Structure 1
């Protein structure tokens, strides 16, 4: 089982990053570079106290519908933008950074596709900081816009990076010069591979409803707990099926920095792999609305492709105790309290 996992990793996640598996320390100087590049007006929009409650606000609809806190990318000059891209590159894997860029650039395509839709605004993505990078032991930042929500919390140089959300419409471009382009691909293809390799008996357990949800169930909730224990338990899968489930989880982890993704997967395998549940709702073929979730003891993955004739994908990773760095913060404040007693 574990050998199969390592093989998946060597295939999917092979780029070295400036992180260590032991304490997943990340170089945060790129965050300071962005903050220092802002003028006083921009800084007033972009930098908040760490305990500002807007840190927990996140969404994936266009900011013209749901306003965001922060400074807008389209209002920055080219040098400032390059600093933001460097920051994103530092906190994501190469695959995650490329996906983020592609989703942002997709807004130009949507503007061409729907010229009269007022919400198609390229570079309408916002960056906000909470606390002072490089100065505070506890700080965070987020990057948000249409179909992107990235939330990073740093506690004593340890990094938490959930909720992490990506979406894309169209999921597959059907015509024109970009025909066939799919920005989010593996999470859908491997999901189909897994559900369709199950026996009828296994499918009866895995498919918990015939109709897909219209969106991810947890939407933009600030905090989530385990959903109903639906679907098939990994323990009821064959070795080959478990390997594909591994591969599917890795595809969802692959936007995260490599060392963190590897560390998370090892923890999932060692702690609760056989109790992970894979649940499916909807059709078993492309073009038919479909949804799945993968739920473990500590995490939830949701995927949906239901609207616009099943050509509009949303994916999210949630940590039950770790979203917005809650577990790291609890530990930090506990130690601080003992230190002062």
Structure 2
């Protein structure tokens, strides 16, 4: 790779992450610690002592970032449609059925949170159910849109009430995963000497609609490497879009690994593919395959297609259909899907899995990279009622210039219009 192919774009992103290469990207034999910057390095030192507002202002200044933000703003300004495979929402994918009461524990927790806030913060956290701000979430460490209130600026009582809302809404395992993503963000702040910018409370939280067992409502929490959008509609709970990432995701026992179990299932499934199946499933031989179209790699998103501001993206199906997999392989596929849906409480996860099962034959597995776990890889499972991705990334706060397993981004979407529970909300309103 030449110096021109490996130049900085804005001080954080390098051109190497979007430059295809003939040689395969292999996994390092070392650990993330081999890629830590010295604390006085120019990558870190200029940000020390800044608060999030000034840091974010400076991070947004470079022309590269301004162009990126402009493209995201155009996407944000579009009316919501939903992710589709061909440009048109497929009807009938999201039948709500009989409208039932919403779970009451999240309602009580949300009301408790609101009661702990000042009048100004109560006004700042609350939005109408259809507010466009619900789609303003993002996952960088610098702030793009200020939506709601920031945890680190709240009282301890309010912060604990926010955590209680998360806990009341998520499964125990899902709550642990979300809090661990926040903890890993704090760990990254410690590793870089920038805890004022990356900590376990550098997240925005907001509430949409009036918390109620009878009416649709929801809440959102987002910040670096975590975005949760939770809606309660007619007895169904939707948690999508979801973004969970980590750098470092593998922290040598310092923190629990977030994605190890999902990656193990994924490699087991990919390794089980026959030669004929691999021909269908493997879309690109490596994560930086020269066969990729020019626009397939994004400097911020790399390979994942369903992140922030991608609410209306057209994502054609790729890879092998699930009906071409064996019974054992489909069981592994279901296991990966269930892990993506782990945030949902048990009863709601069962309903969500049934939604996926209803369209499982049409659901596709796409794989980029070697199927034996020897390389970084990209995974997408995509059907009419589910889109989940896992992508290994190059470093941002670590110095690896090409993807490694210790920087991971994952996304979850409900295609055909049910992100943010919008398909259900529309039906619930019609049923009244």
Q: TM-score, normalised by structure 2?
A: 0.67
Give the whole-Å Cα distance in 2 for the aligned partners of 1:104 and 1:319.
Answer: 24
Q: Does 1:170 align with 2:245?
A: no
Q: Does 1:233 align with 2:321?
A: yes
Q: What corresponds to 2:204 in structure 1?
A: 126
1:26 corresponds, among 103, 122, 128, to 103
User: What are the within-5 Å matches in structure 2 for residues 104-123 of structure 1?
Assistant: 104-115=182-193, 119-123=197-201
**Contact 2:285/2:370 (CA < 8 Å) preserved in 1?**
yes
- 1:171 shift after superposition: 1.5
Which protein shows a greater Rg? 2
Q: What corresponds to 1:221 in structure 2?
A: 309
Give the whole-Å Cα distance in 2 for the aligned partners of 1:162 and 1:195.
Answer: 26
Q: What corresponds to 1:93 in structure 2?
A: 171
Give the whole-Å Cα distance in 1 for the aligned partners of 2:179 and 2:123.
Answer: 26
1:314 corresponds, among 401, 406, 409, to 409
Give the whole-Å Cα distance in 2 for the aligned partners of 1:71 and 1:258.
Answer: 29
Higher helix residue share? 1
- Of structures 1 and 2, the one with the larger relative CO (CA 8 A, separation 6+) is 2
Q: What corresponds to 1:279 in structure 2?
A: 366
Q: What corresponds to 1:11 in structure 2?
A: none
Give the whole-Å Cα distance in 1 for the aligned partners of 2:394 and 2:373.
Answer: 13
- 1:285 shift after superposition: 4.8
Give the whole-Å Cα distance in 2 for the aligned partners of 1:192 and 1:144.
Answer: 29
1:294 corresponds, among 368, 377, 381, to 381
Q: What corresponds to 1:198 in structure 2?
A: 273
Q: Does 1:185 align with 2:185?
A: no
User: What are the within-5 Å matches in structure 2 for residues 18-57 of structure 1?
Assistant: 23=100, 25-27=102-104, 28-57=107-136
Q: Aligned residue pairs: how many? A: 311
22 and 239 in structure 1: CA distance in 2 versus 1, 3 angstrom threshold? farther
1:74 corresponds, among 152, 157, 181, to 152
**Contact 1:226/1:295 (CA < 8 Å) preserved in 2?**
no
User: What are the within-5 Å matches in structure 2 for residues 201-212 of structure 1?
Assistant: 201-212=276-287
Where structure 1 has 5 or more consecutive residues not aligned to the other structure, the ranges are: 1-20, 337-341
Give the secondary structure class of the aligned counterpart of 2:219.
strand
- 1:134 shift after superposition: 3.0
235 and 158 in structure 1: CA distance in 2 versus 1, 3 angstrom threshold? closer
226 and 248 in structure 1: CA distance in 2 versus 1, 3 angstrom threshold? farther
Where structure 2 has 5 or more consecutive residues not aligned to the other structure, the ranges are: 1-97, 288-296, 396-402
